[in-house]
A and B are shown apart, each in its own frame.
Chain A
Amino acid sequence: MPETPLVRTENLTVGYGADLSSRVCPPITVSVAPGEALAVIGANGTGKSTFLRALAGLLPPLAGAALTYGRPVDERAAWYRAYTAVLLDEDSYLPALTVREHLLLTARGHGVQGVSGLVTDLVEEFGLTDRQHAIPSALSSGQRRRLLLCSVFVRPRKLLLLDEPEQRLDAGMRERLGQRLVAERRAGGGVVMATHDPALVREAATRAVLLTEERVTVMSAEDGAAAIEAL
């Protein structure tokens, strides 16, 4: 019996508006099974982030359907929130809490056991050990990005939705992120990430979907990386 895809879209049309004339790209039909990582690629303004926001339930589709775990996306439901870790292009943090406290609170809120060691390992992996007792406003923008990345890895999840996770990361940290994503899918998790980084696509993605104004093309990760380089 085939495994239920983590993500399946059928002619999903997205855009910021009330009618189809506001769509930002043609309808998208893709699926992501457990253990797969889909890279969403394309030039600026072709709808990568919009597509991710629709999968995250933050934007209703203009047409078509978006399913996660075989059910319509419902970001209000506890099951959706329990399974889906989302990183968008925004700084979201509690200004009075330290880096470590953010991660402890998130992990404990999800009922994770042995959180102290987990958080220690994670902040070390993402190069935040020296800054773990700092509040977010005292961090550089790259460090804040790393904190947000830690926050999606410190909690249980089946699916990662990442909007340009490589943003503001140095080369070493991008490589470490790639390794993390590979480990994620090898553990049976799914990843959908919008990205402009061909190296990240080559290392971590299993497939890519190229969005342009005229068409949507699903391709191999290698072809996706080449397409980014050609943009």
Chain B
Amino acid sequence: MTLGTPSWPPPPQEALSGAQVRRLTRRATEAHGGGHLSALIGEFYSVVVAGAIAWLVVIGAVQALGIQTGGEWSQSRVDPGWLGLAVLVLGLGVILSLFARLGPMSIGAGHATWWLPMPADRAGLLRPRLVVITAVALLLGAAVGGAAGAALAGGADLGSALGLAMPAGALGSAVAALACVTGQIRLGAGRPRRVRPLVVAGDGLVVAGPVLVLLAALTGAGELDLLGALGPATVVLAAVTAGLVLWCAHGLERLSGQELRQRGAIGGHAAGSIQSLDTRELGRALSVPGLPRTRRRSAAFRWVKGPALALVTGDATLMLRNPRHLIQLGIGAAVALVPLVAGWPPGLAVVGYLIGGYLAALATGEGARLAEMSPVLDRSFPLEAVVVRRVRALWPLAVLSLWALVVAAAWGWVYGDPGGWLLMGLVAAPTFAAGVLRGAYRQPPDWSRPLLPGPFGPVPPGIVTAFSRGPDVVVICLIPLLVAVLATGPTAVMVFVQIGASAVALAIGCHVPAAPRSPHGPPRTEGN
């Protein structure tokens, strides 16, 4: 045989099995790593410490003022059963939506390109993915189950409630995920119509969760006993989960290469979005194309009279034309309002406000995120870079001011002094706009440095710090408002302090870092 001329077809003993190909790839990847897990842990540590410091500042201020934060679980206007049901509905919705879109067995685009043309058995290549999906589903389910258990316990008999709710929630979520994967492997391969109902059902459940609690609180719904049903449900779900895993494992060879490539592209897009903490980009990656491919007619944009209005119009159009963004604003408001309407302690109202507010803020920042990905977009109009950044803040600022007024009105209804709360909410709104802008324009992690081992493969150093850019400004610069909610109410002093903090947040969010300079060239002079 001539050197360099392969025999064709290769003898079976020379071809690698799927498992061997997978192991070879993993070893080669690990050999090019070089980072240490301790670095990743260190990053987590610093972010957690920063968050803890912010929380301690709030608590310290509250204690220094010597005021009771008040509020007891016993004052809740929502029966724990309804709350537990809502958490389960929401959690199942998230998992159903996620896995219906990602499944089956999404492998990265690179793996699809290099693995699939090989004669290796597909089951050997994909089996670990099935294990990972099951594990992730179980972990997510455990979180959902834990949250539901905590809600059901309602502050009493937490241990027994968690003991029942966690396994039931975990297994229920795993079943939801595996049902999606199985459906696509065994039934829906190449037939998106069979997957779409699962996606719609998942989205519906996501919306239904918070709405359920709001309705239960507003209508004063009676007691709902869920604990008794959890034991039998756990047994049934465990059996269904085991059956689905086996059924999935036997269907792996049936997956077509085309399907794996398509899903791999979606998975890669989704993974990138998660790493950049971009829920909208994640939503787009996971969505069955939601935008109409053509419009009956194009808008004329006659009101656009210059570059600033052009930028704002682009940002507004991006948000208003995607129903997902509007739903996200609504869910954000629901998350912020539920603790208030349900009569929960102010601490939970604060957490709901922070989470709901940032969720809503993310819905307004797509223009900025696109511009960070494609720098030409920000450079296509005759505006200074710093002016572009300020203009990009206008649309989030407008939307989030309205959003904050809605939430603040609820504060006024619950805590009294509606005028003060409306003012406080209004002056606090810019912090969310600043946070979403800071998050949108943050530098991506440096993938060229030695990678660190992560739970889902190698990750670049600095990734945790990158995650925290945006939320950090929101948490820090909302401290005056948090203190007002927890202790003082919307006093004139707190309003002024919040105005100052919001101004600082906007300055940070609109900051444009200095341009990189030539390391060896002559000093560059400013243009005149």
The reply to whether A105 and B304 form a contact with Cβ atoms under 8 Å apart is yes
Interface assignment of A100: CB less than 8 Å from any CB of chain B: yes
Chain B residues with Cβ under 8 A from A135's Cβ?
291-295
Interface assignment of B508: CB less than 8 Å from any CB of chain A: no
Chain A residues with Cβ under 8 A from B526's Cβ?
74
Segment at the interface with B among A31-39, A108-116, A193-201, A221-229: A108-116
The reply to whether A94 and B384 form a contact with Cβ atoms under 8 Å apart is no
A80 contact from B386, B387, B527, B528, Cβ within 8 A: B527
Counting contact residues on chain B (CB < 8 A from A), the size range is 35 or more
The reply to whether A133 and B295 form a contact with Cβ atoms under 8 Å apart is yes
In chain A between 77 and 108, which residues have their CB closer than 8 angstroms to a CB of chain B? Answer: 77-82, 86, 88, 90-101, 104-106, 108
Determine the residue in chain B with the shortest Cβ distance to A86.
B376
Cα A94 to Cα B375 in complex, Å, equals 12
- Min CB gap A229→B, angstroms: 31
Known pairs A78-B387, A90-B376, A109-B381; A19 contacts B304 (CB<8 A): no
Cα A131 to Cα B298 in complex, Å, equals 11
Grouping DSSP codes into helix (H, G, I), strand (E, B) and loop, the B interface class, with mixed when no group exceeds half, is: loop
The reply to whether A111 and B306 form a contact with Cβ atoms under 8 Å apart is yes
In chain B between 246 and 289, which residues have their CB closer than 8 angstroms to a CB of chain A? Answer: 284, 289
Cα A101 to Cα B304 in complex, Å, equals 12
Cβ proximity bits B353-395 to A, threshold 8 Å, 1 near / 0 not: 0000000000000010010001111011111111100000000
In chain B between 511 and 528, which residues have their CB closer than 8 angstroms to a CB of chain A? Answer: 512, 515-522, 524-528
Interface assignment of A144: CB less than 8 Å from any CB of chain B: no
Segment at the interface with B among A61-69, A168-176, A181-189, A206-214: A61-69
Cα A110 to Cα B527 in complex, Å, equals 21
The reply to whether B310 and A109 form a contact with Cβ atoms under 8 Å apart is yes
Chain B residues with Cβ under 8 A from A61's Cβ?
518, 521
Determine the residue in chain A with the shortest Cβ distance to B307.
A109
Counting contact residues on chain A (CB < 8 A from B), the size range is 35 or more
Chain B residues with Cβ under 8 A from A105's Cβ?
301, 304, 310, 313-314
Chain A residues with Cβ under 8 A from B322's Cβ?
96
The reply to whether B374 and A109 form a contact with Cβ atoms under 8 Å apart is no
The reply to whether B381 and A81 form a contact with Cβ atoms under 8 Å apart is yes
The reply to whether B311 and A72 form a contact with Cβ atoms under 8 Å apart is no
The reply to whether A96 and B291 form a contact with Cβ atoms under 8 Å apart is yes
Interface assignment of B318: CB less than 8 Å from any CB of chain A: yes
B525 contact from A72, A99, A100, A133, Cβ within 8 A: A72
Chain A residues with Cβ under 8 A from B291's Cβ?
95-96, 135, 137
The reply to whether A94 and B301 form a contact with Cβ atoms under 8 Å apart is no
- Min CB gap A57→B, angstroms: 8
Most buried by A among B304, B519, B527: B527
The reply to whether B375 and A58 form a contact with Cβ atoms under 8 Å apart is yes
Determine the residue in chain B with the shortest Cβ distance to A103.
B298
A62 contact from B293, B318, B370, B520, Cβ within 8 A: B520
- Min CB gap B210→A, angstroms: 26
Determine the residue in chain A with the shortest Cβ distance to B302.
A108
Interface assignment of A49: CB less than 8 Å from any CB of chain B: no
Known pairs A80-B527, A86-B379, A101-B317; A60 contacts B518 (CB<8 A): yes
A76 contact from B292, B310, B384, Cβ within 8 A: B384
Interface assignment of B297: CB less than 8 Å from any CB of chain A: yes
Interface assignment of A155: CB less than 8 Å from any CB of chain B: yes
Interface assignment of A132: CB less than 8 Å from any CB of chain B: yes
Known pairs A98-B295, A116-B300, A134-B293; A110 contacts B307 (CB<8 A): yes
Cβ proximity bits B479-520 to A, threshold 8 Å, 1 near / 0 not: 000000000000000000000000000000000100111111
The reply to whether B376 and A74 form a contact with Cβ atoms under 8 Å apart is no
Interface assignment of B299: CB less than 8 Å from any CB of chain A: yes
Interface assignment of B449: CB less than 8 Å from any CB of chain A: no
Interface assignment of A230: CB less than 8 Å from any CB of chain B: no
Cα A57 to Cα B293 in complex, Å, equals 34
Interface assignment of B36: CB less than 8 Å from any CB of chain A: no
In chain B between 323 and 354, which residues have their CB closer than 8 angstroms to a CB of chain A? Answer: none
A64 contact from B313, B375, B521, Cβ within 8 A: B521
Cα A115 to Cα B526 in complex, Å, equals 34
The reply to whether A133 and B294 form a contact with Cβ atoms under 8 Å apart is yes
Interface assignment of B32: CB less than 8 Å from any CB of chain A: no
Cβ proximity bits A39-52 to B, threshold 8 Å, 1 near / 0 not: 00000000000000
Chain A residues with Cβ under 8 A from B292's Cβ?
135
Interface assignment of B191: CB less than 8 Å from any CB of chain A: no
Interface assignment of A71: CB less than 8 Å from any CB of chain B: yes
The reply to whether A92 and B527 form a contact with Cβ atoms under 8 Å apart is no
The reply to whether B384 and A78 form a contact with Cβ atoms under 8 Å apart is yes
Cβ proximity bits B383-423 to A, threshold 8 Å, 1 near / 0 not: 11111000000000000000000000000000000000000
The reply to whether A138 and B294 form a contact with Cβ atoms under 8 Å apart is yes
Interface assignment of B27: CB less than 8 Å from any CB of chain A: no
Interface assignment of B296: CB less than 8 Å from any CB of chain A: yes
Interface assignment of B321: CB less than 8 Å from any CB of chain A: yes
The reply to whether A133 and B317 form a contact with Cβ atoms under 8 Å apart is no
The reply to whether B517 and A138 form a contact with Cβ atoms under 8 Å apart is no
Most buried by B among A65, A74, A132: A74
Cα A132 to Cα B298 in complex, Å, equals 8
Interface assignment of A75: CB less than 8 Å from any CB of chain B: yes
- Min CB gap A230→B, angstroms: 29
Cα A129 to Cα B114 in complex, Å, equals 39
Cα A75 to Cα B317 in complex, Å, equals 26
The reply to whether A76 and B317 form a contact with Cβ atoms under 8 Å apart is no
Interface assignment of B305: CB less than 8 Å from any CB of chain A: yes
Beyond A71-B527, A76-B384, A95-B318, 4 additional contacts (C-beta under 8 Å) are A61-B521, A101-B301, A104-B299, A134-B295
A-B contact pairs, 18 of them (CB 8 A): A62-B520, A75-B385, A76-B386, A78-B387, A90-B376, A92-B376, A95-B284, A96-B317, A98-B294, A104-B301, A108-B305, A109-B306, A109-B307, A132-B298, A133-B294, A133-B295, A134-B295, A151-B380
B interface residues with partner A (beta carbon < 8 Å)? 284, 289, 291-301, 304-307, 309-311, 313-314, 317-318, 321-322, 367, 370, 374-377, 379-387, 512, 515-522, 524-528
Nearest 10 CB-CB pairings of A with B: A109-B310, A82-B382, A92-B374, A76-B385, A138-B293, A100-B298, A108-B304, A96-B321, A63-B520, A134-B294
A interface residues with partner B (beta carbon < 8 Å)? 13, 18-20, 56-58, 60-65, 71-72, 74-82, 86, 88, 90-101, 104-106, 108-111, 116, 131-135, 137-138, 151, 155
